[in-house]
Amino acid sequence: MPHDTTDAIAAANQIVTAIQTIVSRNADPFDPAVVTIGKFNAGSQYNVIAETALLEGTIRTQSATMKHKVKKRFFEVVENVSAAMGAEVEIEYFDGYPATVNDRKWAGQVHTTLSGLYGEKALPDLKPSLGGEDFSRFLQNYPGVYYWLGSSTGDTQKPLHNPSFRFNEDAIPYGIEGMTEVALDTLRTLKEGK
């Protein structure tokens, strides 16, 4: 008797579909944002309508303005779709990490030091990442730089956090030397008061 109940799976499916429009229709394409549902648990038997559904996911942005806009829109979409489906919803929202934004002055310092050590080819231009990083909290209070140490093992390199990722240990001496020189150059710059 599905007409006498609310199907949590049907409601949750509508929510997952609807929140995809937050990025595609509410976010400025030049101010990146990602809304992802990475976990969906519901139901207990193949022939029983699910009473509850649990969705878990993440929202990532590169600006505080976009973060606020996406969060606001997320609540609106989830609450209104749930109501339209006759379902009740409870949202637990954890703000997570802010965007990791390097200080321009110190990013320039790091670039100068590392290009001096290894040449410009060692510093490829990379697209910004929406990966979550707790270092962002430090950068909100102290000017600094978060940078990556390349560790590719070749063309078949899997991304970080992939179970098949293999770290190229030959990168370690470069990382140690680079970080040491960055620290020394930074201390020189601070001492000179630049």
Give SS3 for 187. helix
Beta strands 33-42; 53-61: pairing state: antiparallel
* Inter-residue contact 31 to 101 (CB < 8 Å): no
pLDDT digits (tens, 9 = 90+) for 87-126: 999 999 998 888 899 999 999 999 999 999 999 999 998 8
- Please state, for a pLDDT cut of 90, what percent of the chain lies above it: 76
DSSP bridge pairs for 53 = 42
pLDDT of 18: 97
Q: Which of 35, 69, 72 is nearest to 55 (CA)?
A: 35
Q: Are 86 and 20 in contact (CB under 8 A)?
A: no
Give pLDDT, residue 66: 94
In this structure, are residues 167 and 129 in contact, taking their beta carbons and an 8 Å threshold? Answer: no
Structure tokens at 167: 């770290």
- Dihedral angle at the C-alpha atoms of 38, 39, 45, 49, nearest 10 degrees? -80
182-186 mean pLDDT: 96
Least confident segment among 80-84, 135-139, 164-168: 164-168
Structure confidence at residue 81 as a pLDDT band (50, 70, 90): very high
- Please count the other Cβ atoms lying within 10 Å of the Cβ belonging to residue 22: 22
Torsion-angle region of 86 (φ positive above 0: left; ψ -120 to 50: alpha; else: beta): left
The mean predicted confidence, pLDDT, of the chain is 92
- Does the pLDDT value for residue 150 go beyond 90? no
What does the DSSP 8-state code read for residue 107? H
Specify the pLDDT at position 131: 83
The Cα 4–Cα 2 span in angstroms is: 5
Identify whether the C-beta of residue 87 lies closer than 8 Å to the C-beta of residue 6.
yes
List Cβ neighbours of 117 (8 Å cut-off, separation of 6 or more).
Answer: 177, 178, 181
Would you state the pLDDT for residue 136? 93
Q: How confident is the model at residue 194 (pLDDT cuts 50, 70, 90)?
A: confident
Q: What is the mean pLDDT of residues 137-146?
A: 94
Q: Phi and psi dihedrals of 56, rounded to 5?
A: -135, 145
pLDDT score recorded for residue 36: 95
According to DSSP, the residues that pair with 61 across neighbouring strands are 33
Question: In this predicted structure, what is the pLDDT of residue 33?
Answer: 93
Average pLDDT value for residue range 36-42: 96
Tokens of 3: 């007409």
